[in-house]
Amino acid sequence: MNYKRNIIITGGAGFIGNHVVRLFVNKYPDYKIINLDKLTYAGNLANLKDIEDKPNYKFVKMDICDFEGVYKLMQDEHVDGIIHLAAESHVDRSIKDPFTFAQTNVMGTLSMLQAAKLYWESLPEKWEGKRFYHISTDEVYGALELTDPQGIEPPFTTKASSGKHHLAYGSKFFTEDLKYQPHSPYSAAKASSDHFVRAFHDTYGMPTIVTNCSNNYGPYQFPEKLIPLFINNIRHRKPLPVYGKGENVRDWLYVEDHARAIDLIFHKGKVAETYNIGGFNEWKNIDIIKVVINTVDRLLGRKEGEDMDLITFVTDRAGHDMRYAIDSTKLQKELGWEPSLQFEEGIEKTVKWYLDNQAWMDNVTSGDYQRYYEEMYKGR
């Protein structure tokens, strides 16, 4: 079959990637979606069980740093769009092993860019109809100051932001024109990759787009990140390691809302632009942890709050960024995106998903998920 578009999504077996792959495969049956993923510890094909047999979906196990392999794949599949999510994504790991982050996030992105450049430049129509969309993080902007919470009037109303919890912990927000000031090896590597993407537009004319999103939460997140780790620990009554005093603020967005934004920006975003993605939803870690404890307790039929004593304050993360807060006005105003869920709904759905999918969690924590690929794809 001739597809209308042939799109590579990198990192499609990871947390955000699987939601983006699922959305595109289901919404666009006339697009071929090629999930290019190395299947590191963070990649799990079981995340995509429900769509793996769809005719417009193909999985390719490949390292984004394998320039020759990536270039050949682009040629073989006549790729005209790239949505690049593959990365090392966990700040704590970057503190222990910065080299892997530079290799994957910087060199891997460069390998994707250069392969796309060589392939697209070799075609008669060159850049026309092509798009290289790079998914990045708000952490590249550094950290914002922390003040007492204040009610804010965001420049627009969203279903998510009209909820009960609507506070800002400072008067400054991350806007697209802010200078990059990354602090961790993770965010330094992501910042560098963003610069390379823009350089490929400015130098060669490649049609690129960059987006910087806030913390995502939702189903299929690897349980080394705050929310799934804590849900699982509460279930098993294990200590909850809260870094420092739990005062740090993060701006949380439901992962499917991020995937919807990616779809919109891939199709309607302006070339060479940057868009920030976030739902004006700031929470102190300690407050979100209390909400998670209450929700898990209630859904498990325990007395709400009975697991509060699992909270254990531990040594702070080195260089721990104090506050992230995204201003997504540009995306809202120019492309009409808004988050669909209030945080209270999103967290309820998320906790319920992890409790209902204990087999998925056990598979990940036992390491069994890494054998899924061999079983599913042998002989293919």
Q: Is 186 in the active site?
A: yes
Q: Is 138 in the active site?
A: yes
Q: Give 3-state DSSP helix, strand, coil % of the chain, rounded to 5.
A: 45, 20, 40
User: 38 is in the binding site of which of ligand NAD, ligand DAU, none (Cβ under 5 to 8 A by kind)?
Assistant: ligand NAD
User: Residue 340: which of 28, 12, 209, 332 has the closest Cα?
Assistant: 332
Q: CB of 13: closest distance to ligand NAD in angstroms?
A: 4
Dist. CA 191–CA 201, nearest whole Å: 16
Q: CB of 377: closest distance to ligand NAD in angstroms?
A: 14
Dist. CA 332–CA 310, nearest whole Å: 39
105: contact with ligand DAU by CB under 6 A: no
Interacting residues with ligand DAU between 248 and 267 (CB under 6 A): 248, 250
Amino acid letter, residue 240: L
User: 192 is in the binding site of which of ligand DAU, ligand NAD, none (Cβ under 5 to 8 A by kind)?
Assistant: none
Closer by beta carbon to ligand DAU, 161 or else 184: 184
Among 87, 116, 188, 310, binds ligand NAD (CB under 6 A): 87
Query: Would residue 319 be called left, alpha or beta, if left means φ above 0 and alpha means ψ between -120 and 50 degrees?
Result: left
What count of Cα atoms within 13 Å lies in the side-chain half-sphere of residue 342?
10
Closer by beta carbon to ligand DAU, 161 or else 276: 276
Dist. CA 7–CA 33, nearest whole Å: 5
Q: How many residues comprise the chain?
A: 380
Stretch of residues binding ligand NAD (CB under 6 A), selected from 50-58, 79-87, 201-209, 261-269: 79-87
232: contact with ligand DAU by CB under 6 A: no
Dist. CA 269–CA 263, nearest whole Å: 10
Q: CB of 83: closest distance to ligand DAU in angstroms?
A: 16
C-beta neighbour count of 45 within 10 angstroms: 22
List all residues 6 or more positions away from 256 whose beta carbon is below 8 Å from its beta carbon.
Answer: 19, 23, 218, 340, 341
Closer by beta carbon to ligand NAD, 249 or else 310: 249
13: contact with ligand NAD by CB under 6 A: yes
Dist. CA 102–CA 117, nearest whole Å: 21
Written as one string, the DSSP assignment of 190-243 is: HHHHHHHHHHHHHHH---EEEEEE-EEESTT--TTSHHHHHHHHHHTT--EEEE
Among 41, 204, 243, 353, binds ligand DAU (CB under 6 A): 243
Interacting residues with ligand DAU between 302 and 331 (CB under 6 A): 317, 324
Dist. CA 191–CA 189, nearest whole Å: 5
Q: Is 66 in the active site?
A: no
Among 63, 138, 194, 307, binds ligand DAU (CB under 6 A): 138
Catalytic residue (one of 186, 217, 220, 369): 186
353: contact with ligand DAU by CB under 6 A: no
Interface with ligand DAU (CB under 6 A): 89-91, 137-139, 214-215, 225-226, 229, 241-243, 248, 250, 285, 317, 324
Residues that bind ligand NAD (CB under 6 A): 10-11, 13-17, 37-40, 42-43, 63-65, 85-89, 104, 108, 135, 137, 190, 213, 215-216, 222
Active site residues: 138-139, 186
